[in-house]
Structure 1
Amino acid sequence: MLDGIHDIDWASLTHAYGSAEEVPALLRALRSPDAEERRTALDRFYSAVHHQGSVYPATAASLPFLFELAVDSATPDRASAVALLVSIGRESLDRGFEEDGTEVGYYPPMGCGQSVAFLRERGERFAELARDPDPDVRLAAIGAVGLFLDDADRAAEVLHERLAVEEGISARLRIVDTAAALALRLPEAAPPITDWLTGLAADTAQDPAIRLAALIQRFRCTPDDIGEDLVADAVDLLRATVHDLPARHIAPAHSRPEALAAPADGVPPQIVAAFADLDRHARVHAPTTALLRSFHEVLGDRVPERTAVLAEQVNSPAPGARLDAVRMSGELIRGWRGDHTQLLLLVADQLTTPDQEIAAEAATVLECCHLIAAPAREALAAHVEAHLALHGPDVWMTSDALVRRSHQEAVRALARQGDTRAVPSLLVALDADADADADAWRAIQVAGHLPRAADQLVPRLCDHLRRLDLSQQWTAMGANAIMTALTTLGGTAAVSVLTETLDAAVRHEQHGVTRSALGALRTFGSTAAGATDMIRALTTSTDAHVRPAAVAALWAVGRDLTDLTDEVMPHLLDILDDRISFPISDDVADLLGEMGPSAAAALPRLRKLLTHDYEWVRVHAAAALWAVGGEAEAPAVLDVLIQAMAQNPATANHVVTCLDRMGALAAPALPLLREQLAEPRRGGRFQDIAHDEELQRVSRRLISRLDPHALAGHG
C-alpha cells in the first residue's frame, strides 16, 4: 500500500500553503484505524491540497495513492477517498484544458489535465465501485461514472442498472444527476439520456422525488426546451416529494475549516464566527437540496418562476427542506433583481417556527437583505419581543446556543433597519462585563444603524474603544468596527476617544486602525480640530494607506479655520505621482472633489492618470478631474468612465455617481445605463444589495433627468 510514495519529491511540489512535503503523512493518515486522525487528515487535505476546489501539482501527484486507498477493502472509510477523487476530477474538468492537456488560464500547469487523464483511464474501475457492497462507496462513486467513463453506452448501462436496484433516496437522486452530467459531457449520450429522463419524469410508478429529479435534469440537458408548464409540474412533484423526506437529514460537509477546532488566542471572534458560518453553509439538511439548486440554475434569470419554486420549498412540512429553502431564498434575493416582497414575507413567517435553527436562518437572511426587508420589520420585532418575554432581558447571552443565535440574528436584522426595538438587547451586550461571553462585537457591528439611540450607544461604544489593547494586533478588527459605528452615529463625545485611539494606533504601528481613526476624525470636521497637530504629523507617513487618509483628515478638520490649500496640495501632487496606484483612491479623489477649482494645480497629473493601466485609478482620476476642471474636461472624463464601466462592472457605482454630477453632459452614457438596468443580476461593487440598490437608484434618477421616457420597462 502506497508503494512509491517516497519516490516523489513532495517538497518541490506545491499546494495552497506552499511546499507539499506533508502530503505523504496525510495520505498515510487517511488509512489510520483512528477515526479522528483520519478526519483531521481529510480536513487538512481539503484545506491545503484541494483548497476550495483548487488543483495543484501536489493534488495531481496524490491521485495514484488516493486511488489505492479507494479500491483497497482494508481502507477505513473508503467513501471519503472516493469522494475526494471525484471532487478533484470534477473541479479539474470545470477549470478546463486543451486536448493535449494544456490548462486554460494556468501557467505553469497546475495538474488539471493530468488529473482528468488519470481518472478517465480508470473509468471502468469507478463503474465497479458504483456496485460496491458499501452503500457510502457506491454513493460517492456514482458521479464518477458520468465524469470519467468515456464509453457512453457503458455508462448509461451502469446508471440504468443502479437506478433499478438502489433503494436509498440520495443514491437514486445522484444517479439521475449523473445521467445529466453524462449527457452534457458526451454529445452522443444526450439523445438516449434525454429520452430516458423524459420517460422517468412521466412514470407514475416512480417515486415523486425521482420523477422530479428526472424532470429537472432533463431540462438541465436542454434548457432551450423549457416551457410554461415546467414550474407548475415541478411544484406538483415537489409537493408530493416532501412527504417522503426525513425530518432532518444532514449530509456531512466534505471540508471543514481547520480554525473550527477551537478558537485560538489572538483570533478575533469575528473570524471564528465567519468560519462557523462557512461550516454551516457547507451543510445540507434535505436530500433534494442539491437537485433544487440545479433547478434554480436551470431557471437562471426567471426570478418569478424561481420565487414560485422557493415558495413551495419554504412551506415544506420537512424542517430540513425548509431550512435549506430559507438559505436559498436569501441567495436569490441577494444575487438577483426583482420584486422580492413575497419571498421576504415567506422567510419572515419562519421566525415563528419553534425550530430555532430555522428561525435563526430566517433572521440571518433578513439581516443580509435589510435594505429591502422593511416588509418583515414587524415580524422581526415580534420575534425579539417573544424571546424577551419567554427568556428574560438577558436572552442575548443565553446558554442555549440555538435560542441565542436566533435572538441575536433577529436583533441585528431589526437594528439594521434602524428600529429602536433592537436597542435593549444591544445594551445588554454592550453593558456586560469585559470577561463575559456577551458577543458584544455582534452588537457593535449594527449599532451605527440606530442614530435615534445615539445618546445611549455612543458612550458605551467609546468605553469599549478605550478598553481595547491596541498592542495586540488582533484587536484591530474590533477597533475599526467601533469607529465605523461612531462615525455614523456622530456626537462630539466621540472625538476625544477617537483622538486617543489614533495616538495608540500610531504608537503600536497599527496602520489599519490609524487609517480608520483618521477617517473617523475626518467626518467630525472642525469639531476634531484639537487633533490637528497629530494628523499633520501623519501626512508624511511612509505607509501608503495612512498618508492620503491623513491629508484628507487635515483638510476636513482645518478648512473651516484656515485656508489649507497651500499645505495639502504638495502632498496631493506627490501622491498622484507615486508609482503605487492604490493611494489614488477615495481619500485623494474625494478630497480633490471637495477642493474643486482651488486644486487646479493637480489637473496635469489627473489628465495623465486617465491613461493609467488600472481602471480603478482611471475612474478615481476622472471623477476628480471633473470636480476640479469642470465642463472643459467632460469629453475625456466621459470617455474614461464609459470604458471603465464596460471593462469592469464593479466600477459602476463610482461611475454613475460621477455621471450624475455631470448632468446633461452625461447623455452619451445613456445606452450603457439602460443596458445596466436591464441586467437581471445584481451589479455594482461586490454585486451586493447595498451597492446594487444604490446603483439602480442613481441610474434611474440620471436616466429620468436625461430622457424622461427612457425608464419604460425599468420600474
Structure 2
Amino acid sequence: MLDGIDDLDWTAMQHAYGPAGDVPAMLRGLVAADAELRSESEEGLWGAVHHQGDVYDSTLATIPFLLEIAQRPGPSQATAFDLLGSYGGIDTASLVELGEARPWLAPGGTYEDARRLIADARQVFLDQLASSDARVRDSAIVASLAGPPDGRVAEALLALFERERDPRTRTTAHAALGWLSRQGLSELDDWVRGQRESPDPGVRIAALIEAARAGEPIATPTLVATVEAAYDQHGPALPTSTRRRLSRRAPQRERRAEAEERVIARVCEAVPDPAPLLMALLTSSDWEIALDAISPASEHIRKVRGDHASLVRLIAARMDEAPKEVGRALMVAGPLAAPARPELVKAPVDESVLAALVNVQDPHAVPHLRTELRRAHPSSSVGFQVARLGPVSSALADDVVRALRAGGEATYGLLQAVAQLGLAEAVPEVLRVLPDPFAIRALRLLGPPARRVVPQLQDLLGAEPKVAVAAAHALWSVDANRSGLSVVLHELDAPTNGFTYRAAADAAGEMRVEEAIPALLVGMEGDDRHGWPQLHSARALWRIDPEPALAPRLASALRTCWVNNESIRLDVAQLLVEMGPSGHALADLVQEELENPLRLTSRGGGWSTSDVERDEELLATLRRLA
C-alpha cells in the first residue's frame, strides 16, 4: 500500500510549517494499526498539509495516496474521504448545518488544481456509497460534491436516500441534494422541499429550511413541532429538579440532544422573521429547547432592527436556569436589555451580567465596579465601563483616581473615565502618563479645569508628530492657546500617516484655523478607500467655515464616504446633524438606511458585543435627520 510514496521529493514541497518531508510518515500513520498514531497523523494532515483549508503543493501530492486509502476498508477510510472532500472545497459541517458546502473558495492556483483532481475522482466516491460503514457513506456523500454539479451524483444520492436506514446519512444525503439543487440542478427542487413528511426529523428540518429559503411561508407551529421532534428522537428531557441542580452546580449540563444544538439556529437563519418561532421556543416546557433558543434569540437581536422587548423579557425569564447564557445574551443586547433590569439586578454577577448592567446604566453596577477598581490590579475594561455607566458613575470618582495612581493595564480605560467624569482632581495622575497620546486626550477633554498643564503640553510640541499634534489640540482646549498652530498646519501639509492627519484635522476644526482650509480641501477630496481622512477633513472645514457655499462639496465627499464604508456612517450622520439644513443633501441615503431591517453592524460578517449599541446610536442619529 502507498506504493511510490518515497519516489516523490517531499522535502522540496511545502506545507503550513515549512518543508513537507514529514508527510510520508503522516500518510503511513493514517493506515497504522496503532490508534494513537492514526490520530496524530490525521491531526498532522489537517493541521499542516491542509491548514485552515489551505492547499499546498504537498496537499496535491497526497491526493493519489488518500484515494488509495479511501478505496480500502479500514479505520481511516472515512478520514481519507473527509480530507479529499475538503481539498475539493466541501465541508461536512457547513453542508449539514448551513446547507452551504463550500467554506473554502480561494480562486485559482493549487486550490483550483485540487478541485479538479477531486472532481475527476468522483467515481471513487460514488462507488463507496455502497459501503457497509455508515461513516464512510456519509463522508463519501460530501466528497462527491466537489467540482461542477453533476446529474450522476444526484441520481446516486437519490438512490442512496431511498435505501439508506441510518438517519445521519439520510440527513447528509438530503443536504447534499439540496446543495445540488441550488447549484443548478433545479429539477431536484420539488423533491428536496417535499421531504417535510420524512420519518427522520433531521430531514424534515432540512426540507423546511430549503422551503423557507425558497420563499415558501412556513407556519410557526409547524416549525416548533419539527424542532421538538428533532430533540425528542433522543428521548425526553431531564426533569426540572435535575435540570436546576445541574445548571447551578455542574460546569456543563447533561444534554440528551447534543447533536441538535444548532437546529434552532439553522431554522432561524432560513426564515424571514424568526421572532415568533423564538418566542415559542423560549417558552417551551422542554428546558433543552428553551435554553438552546437563547443564543439564536440573542443573535436575532444583534442582527435585526426592531422592538425586541418581548424577546428580551423571555430570555431574561430563563436567568435562574441558565445564568451564563442569559447574561451573555443580555450583554449583547446592549441598551435593549433594559426590560430585563429586574432579572439583572437579582442575578449572580459575572462579567456578562456586569456588562449588561453597565449597558443599561443601572446603579446596581456601581458596587461591583468599585470592588474591581479597588483590586491591586484592576481589569483593563473597568475604566471603560465606568465611562459608559452614565451619571451614576460619579460615585466612583475617588476610586478612579486611586486606581489611575496605581497604574497598570487599566490605565487607558481609566483615562477615558477621567475625561467622561470630568475629574480635574486626577490631573496629577494623568501627567504621570505623559507623553502618551491617550493621556493628552484626557487632558484635552477635561478642558479649562486642566489649565495648569499648559507648560507640560507646550514642552511636547517638539515631540514626535502624533504627540505634538495631540498636545497642540489640548492646548487649545484647556487654554485657548494657539501656540501649537504651526504643528497642526505642518501635519496637514505633509501628513506623517492617516491617524496623525486626522488628529490634525480635528484640531484645525476646533481651533477654527482658516489657514488650514487649502490643505483640508485636498484631504477631503483624497482617495483613501475607507474615507476617514476625507470625513475628518470635511468636519474640520464645516467647523471653520460653515457656509452654504461649501456645503455641496462637503455633501459630495460625505456621500462617497457613506457609500464606500459602512462603518463610517455613524460619524457621517453625526456631522450631517451638525450641518443642519445643509446636511439634508444626503436625505436619500439616510432614509435608505432607516428602512434597512438589518443592523449596519451585522452586515459585514463581523461580531462584537457592542454591535447593538452602535447600531441603535446610528438609528437615533438618523432619526434626527429624517
Instruction: Give the 3 Å change call, closer, same or farther, for CA 480–285 of structure 1 in structure 2.
Output: farther
1:371 aligns with one of 335, 344, 350: 335
Per-residue deviation at 1:10? Answer: 6.5
Aligned partner of 2:619: which letter? Q
Residue 447, structure 1, aligned to residue 446, structure 2? no
Residue equivalent to 2:299: 331
Per-residue deviation at 1:372? Answer: 1.5
Instruction: Give the 3 Å change call, closer, same or farther, for CA 110–46 of structure 1 in structure 2.
Output: farther
Residue equivalent to 1:207: 200
Q: Given that residues 638 and 666 in structure 1 are in contact (C-alpha distance below 8 angstroms), is that contact kept between their aligned partners in structure 2?
A: yes
Residue equivalent to 1:296: 268
Per-residue deviation at 1:419? Answer: 1.1
**Aligned equivalents of 1:171 and 1:374: distance in 2?**
45
Per-residue deviation at 1:363? Answer: 0.9
Instruction: Give the 3 Å change call, closer, same or farther, for CA 492–674 of structure 1 in structure 2.
Output: same
Per-residue deviation at 1:701? Answer: 0.9
Residue equivalent to 2:119: 120
Per-residue deviation at 1:528? Answer: 3.1
Residue equivalent to 2:189: 194
1:241 aligns with one of 220, 226, 230: 230
Residues 292-351 of structure 1: per-residue CA shift (max 9 Å, x gap): 44433433xx3xx21122223434455554444222222221122122222212221221
Residue equivalent to 1:496: 428
Residue equivalent to 1:583: 499
Instruction: Give the 3 Å change call, closer, same or farther, for CA 411–75 of structure 1 in structure 2.
Output: same
**Aligned equivalents of 1:431 and 1:202: distance in 2?**
61
SS of match in other structure, 2:388: coil
Per-residue deviation at 1:612? Answer: 0.9
Per-residue deviation at 1:113? Answer: 1.4
Residue 643, structure 1, aligned to residue 560, structure 2? yes
Residue 175, structure 1, aligned to residue 173, structure 2? yes
**Aligned equivalents of 2:173 and 2:207: distance in 1?**
10
Q: Given that residues 285 and 324 in structure 1 are in contact (C-alpha distance below 8 angstroms), is that contact kept between their aligned partners in structure 2?
A: no
1:517 aligns with one of 439, 447, 462: 439
**Aligned equivalents of 1:69 and 1:482: distance in 2?**
60
Q: Given that residues 430 and 443 in structure 1 are in contact (C-alpha distance below 8 angstroms), is that contact kept between their aligned partners in structure 2?
A: yes
Residues 89-136 of structure 1: per-residue CA shift (max 9 Å, x gap): 336999xxxxxxxx9986xx4533122112212223233455545544
Residue equivalent to 1:267: none
| Bigger radius of gyration among the two | 2
Aligned partner of 1:702: which letter? L
Instruction: Give the 3 Å change call, closer, same or farther, for CA 175–459 of structure 1 in structure 2.
Output: farther
SS of match in other structure, 2:432: helix
Q: Given that residues 303 and 602 in structure 2 are in contact (C-alpha distance below 8 angstroms), is that contact kept between their aligned partners in structure 1?
A: no
**Aligned equivalents of 2:117 and 2:109: distance in 1?**
14
Instruction: Give the 3 Å change call, closer, same or farther, for CA 241–552 of structure 1 in structure 2.
Output: same
Instruction: Give the 3 Å change call, closer, same or farther, for CA 450–680 of structure 1 in structure 2.
Output: closer
Residues 351-372 of structure 1: per-residue CA shift (max 9 Å, x gap): 121xxxx421221121122222
**Aligned equivalents of 1:684 and 1:331: distance in 2?**
12
Instruction: Give the 3 Å change call, closer, same or farther, for CA 337–516 of structure 1 in structure 2.
Output: same
Per-residue deviation at 1:212? Answer: 2.7
- Please give the residue correspondences for 1:26-425 in structure 2 after superposition, counting only pairs within 5 Å: 27=26, 31=30, 53=53, 63=63, 79-80=78-79, 82-90=81-89, 109=108, 111-148=110-147, 150-162=149-161, 164-168=163-167, 170-185=168-183, 187=184, 189-191=185-187, 193-203=188-198, 206-220=199-213, 223-224=214-215, 226-227=216-217, 229-245=218-234, 286-299=258-271, 302=272, 305-317=273-285, 319-353=287-321, 358-384=322-348, 407-425=350-368
Q: Given that residues 538 and 546 in structure 1 are in contact (C-alpha distance below 8 angstroms), is that contact kept between their aligned partners in structure 2?
A: yes
Per-residue deviation at 1:643? Answer: 2.2
**Aligned equivalents of 1:691 and 1:430: distance in 2?**
26
Instruction: Give the 3 Å change call, closer, same or farther, for CA 147–433 of structure 1 in structure 2.
Output: same
Instruction: Give the 3 Å change call, closer, same or farther, for CA 640–28 of structure 1 in structure 2.
Output: same
Q: Percent identity?
A: 25
Q: Given that residues 351 and 359 in structure 1 are in contact (C-alpha distance below 8 angstroms), is that contact kept between their aligned partners in structure 2?
A: yes
2:472 aligns with one of 551, 556, 561: 551
Q: Given that residues 603 and 625 in structure 1 are in contact (C-alpha distance below 8 angstroms), is that contact kept between their aligned partners in structure 2?
A: yes
Structure 1 gaps, min length 5 = 95-102, 250-279, 385-395, 397-406, 470-474, 507-513, 704-715
Residue equivalent to 1:690: 613
Instruction: Give the 3 Å change call, closer, same or farther, for CA 50–629 of structure 1 in structure 2.
Output: farther
**Aligned equivalents of 1:33 and 1:447: distance in 2?**
60
Per-residue deviation at 1:678? Answer: 1.4
| CA RMSD between the two structures | 3.9
Q: Given that residues 551 and 568 in structure 1 are in contact (C-alpha distance below 8 angstroms), is that contact kept between their aligned partners in structure 2?
A: yes
**Aligned equivalents of 2:62 and 2:505: distance in 1?**
50
Residues 411-457 of structure 1: per-residue CA shift (max 9 Å, x gap): 221122211213333344444455xxxx8446555333335554553
Residue equivalent to 1:699: 622
State the number of aligned residues: 590
Aligned partner of 2:186: which letter? A
Residues 123-173 of structure 1: per-residue CA shift (max 9 Å, x gap): 2323345554554444444333344585424434335424643434x4433
Aligned partner of 1:157: which letter? A
State the TM-score, normalizing by the size of structure 2.
0.81
Q: Given that residues 53 and 91 in structure 1 are in contact (C-alpha distance below 8 angstroms), is that contact kept between their aligned partners in structure 2?
A: no
Q: Given that residues 492 and 527 in structure 1 are in contact (C-alpha distance below 8 angstroms), is that contact kept between their aligned partners in structure 2?
A: yes
Aligned partner of 2:446: which letter? F
Structure 2 gaps, min length 5 = 95-103, 239-251, 605-610
Instruction: Give the 3 Å change call, closer, same or farther, for CA 236–19 of structure 1 in structure 2.
Output: same
SS of match in other structure, 2:499: coil
